[in-house]
Amino acid sequence: MSTKKDDRRKVRLRVLRQDAPDKPSSRRFEEVEVDLHPSMTVHDCLEAVRRRPVNVKGAAIAPIAWEASCLEETCGACTMMIQGRPRQACATLVSEVSPKGQPIVLEPLGKFPVERDLIVDRAKMFDALTRVRAWVKLDGSASPAPAEGQGAQQGRYELSSCIACGACLEACPEVHDGSAFVGAAALNEVRALNLHPVGRLDRGERLEAIMGDGGVADCGKAQNCVEVCPKAIPLVDSIGELSRETTWRWLFGWRR
């Protein structure tokens, strides 16, 4: 029988865990190790732990809870803090965040309530969409939308690729418990809908909705949102454009 030492490389995860929403006192880091394979993602690591839930000491642990769905950076469900930065576990390569074999630290997004382990409640993102009136009225009374050129469609497509992952809110210094700021994702949606042939019919209502507390004026222009957006949406451009439009409406809206 061969006595050759097993030299398979391993990757260590250091996971911040919490047992339930009402148990913040249960927060603790737990370390696990899995075999490293080529092109392995953080999601793959968590799947390996799910199949064999033991810590680095070999003791059985409760399986780590996290969300995943599309596995192709489209749904945003697996967004978490990876090495201190909001990323999608399904698209983050181990080789990218642990090039020298250092432990990978996984934490839940900090700007959202924790449900369990790496799962958070993103309800505030959808509440923000309600606040800014991010919908198109279809009651049958609107005129047919005029034809659009390919350039206009491409511009709106770029804005519509948001996956509601929450990374932009996580990175934004203006989003915190003492702030009402709706965040870049909701403001970008306002711009996208205001450019829509039917959506622009309610452009004024949306601009009014973001002119108050928590609206576009609360953006601190840190531009962190652009740095972490997985879809490279021009969020700063959207916020800048809305700032100009709301200023114009504040100054000259009475003319309308």
Report which DSSP code applies to 209.
H
| Dist. CA 228–CA 171, nearest whole Å | 7
The contacts of residue 58 (CB under 8 Å, 6+ apart) are none
**Residue 227: C-alpha distances to residues 15, 19, 167, 232 (Å):** 24, 31, 10, 8
Per-residue HEC secondary structure of 139-160 comes to CCCCCCCCCCCHHHHHHHHHHC
| Superfamily of domain 10-120, CATH level 4 | Beta-grasp domain (3.10.20.30)
What sign results for the dihedral spanned by CA atoms 233, 202, 124, 64?
Answer: negative
Q: Residue 161, class by beta-carbon neighbours within 10 Å (0-12 exposed, 13-18 middle, 19+ buried)?
A: middle
pLDDT in tens, the chain (256 residues): 444 444 459 999 999 999 999 999 999 999 999 999 999 999 999 999 999 999 999 999 999 999 999 999 999 999 999 999 999 999 999 999 999 999 999 999 999 999 999 999 999 999 999 999 999 887 766 566 666 777 777 878 899 999 999 999 999 999 999 999 999 999 999 999 999 888 888 999 999 999 999 999 999 999 999 999 999 999 999 999 999 999 999 998 756 5
Sketch the domain layout of the chain as residue ranges.
10-120, 123-255
pLDDT of 96 reads 96
Q: What is the distance of C-alpha 110 from the center of its chain?
A: 11
Fold of 123-255: Fumarate Reductase Iron-sulfur Protein; Chain B, domain 2 (1.10.1060)
Say what the pTM is: 0.90
Cα end-to-end span (Å), the chain: 88
Backbone angles phi and psi of 222, in degrees to 5: -70, -30
The contacts of residue 142 (CB under 8 Å, 6+ apart) are 198, 201
pLDDT of 144 reads 65
| Dist. CA 61–CA 37, nearest whole Å | 23
Asked if 10-120 and 123-255 have one fold, the answer is no
Give the bridge partners for 13, in sequence order.
32, 104
Which structure tokens are listed for 247? 């200023």
